[in-house]
């Protein structure tokens, strides 16, 4: 039975369609939903809706649900529709009438946002740790091979001298800037939605700052309608931020695929990182890099989905917003995985210093020749034209 259900049962096909993947998706949110529910229950005690012993019972049972979920033993049925219903039904089954009180002063609208934002906060931390590990891998690469020179490219053509240090450091600094974006994204989502109901408040005096503090939010999101309108919007900033991590990995993957073309051979992956072909026996393919490259596009398409889906709608919740859960969760998992895999790639990367040096052919140094003339007082453009004649 659903939380809102009256006597009429929902048409079976309609039920199946509306419920969709929520039961599976919500399993990942149970922990955070219970954490927010515990804070909410404590607040209900503070404002006199629950008694001390009631709140203790609820907390005990909510913790048990967290434990069950951690062991993959908590289930959400299609009939239950979502995690919120499954939790309330579990509580009512275990605690009787007390379970029916937990939804006082909230709607599933603020409840799910609380769970999601707690989930986001944890995933942001995981991303940050992933970036740190990635950057440490780069540091090790620089320590081992930083001084190896090889041609820098523009337009996929040799340009000027580059080095492993310059190359690796470019990604490291970019990731540090990504951390700033993660910080801002976190600042946005670190606003407690609890106590805003379905977007138009709760007809009861609730202590929102108290719940927020207990749930671990830095501040409350004051305006109840803004809470709903920010759904999908904050998520789009999250996915955008993840896409910035992913574009760095996409570019690094493209670089490594190119640098490890045997015809160039500046770098190579160990065999344990390469796959083969079912028809061509000689092949050693960089599938791992190609998949990382491709997954950038998975992430940006999640962002696009969310940005397109939430537009042209009036203020307030619409069921459309239900479909915003999956893209952002998918984007987090993808990014975290790719950061981890690319850290392993860097740690196992072979730099072929001999091939690098051989590739430092004359034209890579053409610009330096120009500057030798500039140092002799020749105007830059004249020096440039003089040297360029050598390459006509």
Tell me which of 67, 177, 354, 357 binds its own copies, using CB under 8 A.
Answer: 177
Whether the CB-CB separation of 19 and 320 falls below 8 Å is answered with no
CA dihedral (211, 216, 218, 221) positive or negative: negative
**Residue closer to its own copies, measured from CB, 118 or 339:** 339
Neighbours of 263 (CB within 10 A): 4
Q: Which of 27, 179, 291, 360 binds its own copies (CB under 8 A)?
A: 291
Are 305 and 331 a contacting pair, CB within 8 Å? no
Residues 6+ apart with CB under 8 A from 206: 43, 47, 105, 195
Binding residue for its own copies (CB under 8 A) from 258, 336, 353, 360? Answer: 258
Residue of 181, 175, 125, 116 lying closest to 328 (CA atoms) = 116
Q: Which is nearer to its own copies, 206 or 214 (CB)?
A: 206
* Interface with its own copies in residues 10-69 (CB under 8 A): 10-11, 13-14, 17-18, 20, 49
Tokens of 251: 């570019």
Among 121, 136, 179, 226, binds its own copies (CB under 8 A): 226
What is d(CA 88, CA 101) in angstroms, rounded to the nearest whole number?
A: 9
Report the distance separating Cα 193 and Cα 366, nearest Å: 60
Among 26, 88, 186, 190, indicate the residue that binds its own copies (CB under 8 A).
Answer: 88
- Interacting residues with its own copies between 110 and 169 (CB under 8 A): 152-162, 166-167, 169
Question: Toward its own copies, which CB reaches closer, 55 or 67?
Answer: 55
Site for its own copies contains 5 (CB under 8 A): yes
155 as an active site residue: the answer is yes
**Choice from 180, 333, 354, 357 touching its own copies (CB under 8 A):** 180
Of 52, 84, 103, 155, which is the active-site residue? 155
Residue 277 known to be catalytic? yes
Q: Which of 16, 147, 277, 388 is catalytic?
A: 277
Task: Provide the terminal-to-terminal Cα distance of the chain, rounded to the nearest Å.
Answer: 80
Does position 211 interact with its own copies (CB under 8 A)? The reply is no
Catalytic residues: 155, 277
């Amino acid at each position: 039975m659903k939380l809102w259900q009256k006597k009429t049962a929902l048409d079976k096909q309609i039920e199946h369609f509306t419920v969709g993947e929520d039961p599976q998706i919500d399993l990942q949110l149970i922990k955070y939903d219970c954490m927010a529910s515990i804070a909410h229950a404590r607040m209900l005690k503070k404002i006199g809706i629950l008694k001390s012993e009631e709140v203790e019972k609820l907390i005990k049972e909510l913790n048990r649900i967290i434990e069950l979920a951690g062991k993959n033993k908590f289930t959400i049925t299609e009939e239950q529709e979502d995690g919120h219903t499954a939790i309330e039904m579990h509580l009512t089954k275990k605690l009787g009438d007390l379970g029916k009180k937990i939804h006082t002063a909230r709607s599933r609208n603020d409840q799910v946002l609380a769970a999601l934002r707690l989930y986001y906060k944890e995933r942001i931390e995981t991303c940050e740790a992933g970036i740190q590990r990635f950057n440490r891998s780069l540091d090790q690469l620089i320590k081992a091979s930083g001084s190896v020179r090889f041609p820098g490219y523009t337009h996929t053509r040799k340009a000027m001298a580059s080095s492993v240090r310059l190359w690796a450091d470019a990604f490291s600094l970019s990731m540090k800037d990504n951390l700033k974006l993660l910080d801002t994204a976190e600042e946005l989502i670190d606003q407690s939605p609890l106590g805003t109901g379905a977007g138009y408040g709760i007809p009861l005096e609730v202590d929102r700052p108290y719940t927020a503090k207990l749930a671990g939010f830095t501040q409350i999101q004051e305006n109840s309608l803004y809470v709903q309108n920010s759904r999908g919007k904050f998520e789009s900033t999250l996915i955008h931020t993840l896409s910035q991590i992913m574009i760095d990995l996409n570019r690094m993957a493209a670089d490594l695929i190119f640098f490890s073309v045997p015809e160039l051979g500046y770098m190579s992956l160990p065999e344990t990182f390469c796959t083969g072909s079912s028809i061509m026996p000689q092949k050693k393919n960089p599938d791992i890099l190609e998949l990382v490259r491709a997954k950038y596009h998975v992430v940006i398409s999640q962002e696009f989905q969310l940005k397109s889906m939430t537009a042209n709608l009036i203020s307030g919740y619409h069921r459309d917003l239900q479909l915003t859960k999956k893209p952002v969760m998918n984007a987090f998992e993808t990014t975290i995985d790719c950061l981890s895999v690319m850290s392993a790639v860097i740690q196992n990367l072979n730099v072929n210093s001999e091939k690098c040096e051989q590739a430092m052919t004359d034209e890579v140094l053409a610009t330096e020749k120009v500057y030798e003339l500039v140092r002799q007082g020749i105007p830059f453009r004249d020096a440039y034209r003089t040297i360029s004649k050598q390459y006509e």
